[in-house]
């Protein structure tokens, strides 16, 4: 019998009790990037229509949309279209502060591109959330 490292027999989210695939499993990178592209594209479109495309207006629109949709639907437009949602690791209600702090960290970019072994960005780790499939 060959000993294999623990990491080869585990999957993202296993240590949180999440399944390997299907509902409540970790949202995989391709789906996450596509959701981000949808959200950013919508912000750009609104910025073009109302502000003749302004980079700061686009970022503000993106941030407001993220916070509002996280507060009301537990996911951004892109997340919802691709069958994902943001949930607290501990379960229960996302709360009022998590959507705002997560959005600020996402807009700073750097926390969002540093991932852990569960494929959670630092913006999710710092607020205690995880992006899962619905």
Q: Is the pLDDT of residue 6 over 70?
A: no
Residue 49 lies in a domain: yes
Write the pLDDT tens digit of every residue in 56-114: 999 999 999 999 999 999 999 999 999 999 999 998 899 999 999 999 999 999 999 99
Q: What angle do CA 126, 129, 134 make, to 5 degrees?
A: 160
Residue 21 lies in a domain: no
Residue 22 lies in a domain: no
**Cα gap 82→108, rounded to integer Å:** 23
Number of folded domains that form the chain: 1
Write the pLDDT tens digit of every residue in 75-84: 999 999 999 9
Residue 52 lies in a domain: yes
pLDDT at residue 53, as a whole number: 94
Q: Which domain holds residue 107?
A: 41-133
Residue 30 lies in a domain: no
Residue 116 lies in a domain: yes
Rg (CA), the chain: 16
pLDDT at residue 3, as a whole number: 47
Residue 122 lies in a domain: yes
Residue 89 · residue 129 · CB < 8 Å:
yes
Residue 26 lies in a domain: no
Specify burial of residue 38 (Cβ count, 10 A radius: 0-12, 13-18, 19+): middle
């Amino acid at each position: 019998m060959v000993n294999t490292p623990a990491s080869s027999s585990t999957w993202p989210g296993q240590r949180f009790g999440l399944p390997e695939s299907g509902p409540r499993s970790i949202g995989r990178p391709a789906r996450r990037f596509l959701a981000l592209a949808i959200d950013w594209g919508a912000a750009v479109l609104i910025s073009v229509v109302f502000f003749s495309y302004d980079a700061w207006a686009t970022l503000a629109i993106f941030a407001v949309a993220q916070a509002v949709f996280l507060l009301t639907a537990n996911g951004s437009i892109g997340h919802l279209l691709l069958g994902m949602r943001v949930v607290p690791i501990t379960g229960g209600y996302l709360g009022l502060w998590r959507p705002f702090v997560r959005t600020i960290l996402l807009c700073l970019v750097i926390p969002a591109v540093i991932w852990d072994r569960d494929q959670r960005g630092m913006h999710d780790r710092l607020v205690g959330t995880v992006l899962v499939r619905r």
